Structure 1
Amino acid sequence: MMMITTGRMLRCVSLVSMVIFAVLVNECSSQHTVWDPVHASIKNDIAQGVELNAWCKSKNTDFGHHRIAYGDEFVWTFKINFWNTTLYWCKMWWTDVDGKYTEGSYAIYKAERDWDECQNECHYSVRRDGIYQNNYASDVSDLVYPWPK
């Protein structure tokens, strides 16, 4: 039979207490956690009368083709996987009122890259010069992907 000494017991209790304290501090200091669902959206901010086409998918989910009118958005919700490798890829294309065709394909959401940028609210604004992502910390949109030339 194994005996646990008082000193060993105190060290174990102290270690467990520190782990619980660290988890609680982390939970209290942030309103979002990686276990909460992520809400993502792609909004057409190109121009009045210009329709955005988007085909987004992950390894397991294919959302198919979406036509997004100016001012509208395509929205989806997901959870980040245990390995933090969740990835959504989108092909987007549009033709402006002058007939110029623009197309690009992007890793629109990558968990290991985007958690610090937008946490659980990742919104993308598609504009004439590229795709912007909201920045959680600064509440400003950053250009993340310019359209190919």
Structure 2
Amino acid sequence: MATAFHVYVINNLGDDKNLTTHCRSTETDLGTRVLEFGAAFDWEFEITIGHVAEYWCDMSWASSHGDFQVFYEPRDALRRGDQKCYWRIDRDGLYLYIKSDDDYELQFRWP
């Protein structure tokens, strides 16, 4: 049996600030995208029993750059809710929507 997940990366950096992101897992390279302010990049995948899903996104804007683990099934499957992961990318870091709190919480700061 498989469970489907949907991940969203949303540029919330502000006007005239593009976000460049390259997301991938060990099996899938989702390519490089340039997101204008307010734009989103999203993808779906399925997790089967006995397989651990993990996705990383290399992100940059202006002089900020980092490689972030945006999905790791043992850590994230339950805290996301409805199998949807919303990442809001802000100037101070990456925020994840936590369904139980009905709010975004800072997860990663820009290095």
RMSD of aligned C-alpha atoms? 1.3
Which consecutive unaligned segments of at least 5 residues does structure 1 have? 1-33, 96-100
Question: CA offset at residue 85 of structure 1?
Answer: 1.3
CA deviations on 1:3-50 (whole Å, 9 max, x unpaired) are: xxxxxxxxxxxxxxxxxxxxxxxxxxxxxxx94311111000011110
Question: CA offset at residue 128 of structure 1?
Answer: 0.4
Which of the pair has more CA radius of gyration?
Answer: 1
Does residue 141 in structure 1 map to residue 108 in structure 2?
Answer: no
Does residue 129 in structure 1 map to residue 92 in structure 2?
Answer: yes
| Aligned-partner residue type, residue 110 of structure 2 | W
CA deviations on 1:49-92 (whole Å, 9 max, x unpaired) are: 10000000001110111001100000100112322510001100
Give 1:116's aligned residue.
78
Question: 2:3–2:48: 8 Å Cα contact kept in structure 1?
Answer: no
Higher strand share: 2
Question: 2:97–2:105: 8 Å Cα contact kept in structure 1?
Answer: yes
Measure, in 2, the Cα distance between the counterparts of 1:91 and 1:44: 14
| Aligned-partner residue type, residue 46 of structure 2 | K
Measure, in 1, the Cα distance between the counterparts of 2:49 and 2:2: 9
Which consecutive unaligned segments of at least 5 residues does structure 2 have? none
Question: 1:117–1:134: 8 Å Cα contact kept in structure 2?
Answer: no
TM-score by length of structure 1 reads: 0.70
Percent of residue pairs identical? 27
Higher helix share: 1
Measure, in 1, the Cα distance between the counterparts of 2:87 and 2:107: 9
| Aligned-partner residue type, residue 81 of structure 1 | T
Does residue 49 in structure 1 map to residue 16 in structure 2?
Answer: yes
Measure, in 2, the Cα distance between the counterparts of 1:70 and 1:63: 20
Query: Highest relative contact order (Cα 8 Å, sep 6+), 1 or 2?
Result: 2
Runs of 4 or more above 3 Å deviation? none
Change (3 A) 1:74 1:112: same
TM-score by length of structure 2 reads: 0.93
Measure, in 2, the Cα distance between the counterparts of 1:135 and 1:117: 6
Task: Write the mapping of 1:1-149 to structure 2, written as runs, cut at 5 A.
Answer: 35-95=2-62, 101-119=63-81, 120-148=83-111
Secondary structure of the structure 2 residue equivalent to 1:49: coil
Secondary structure of the structure 2 residue equivalent to 1:113: helix
Give 1:98's aligned residue.
none
Give 1:11's aligned residue.
none
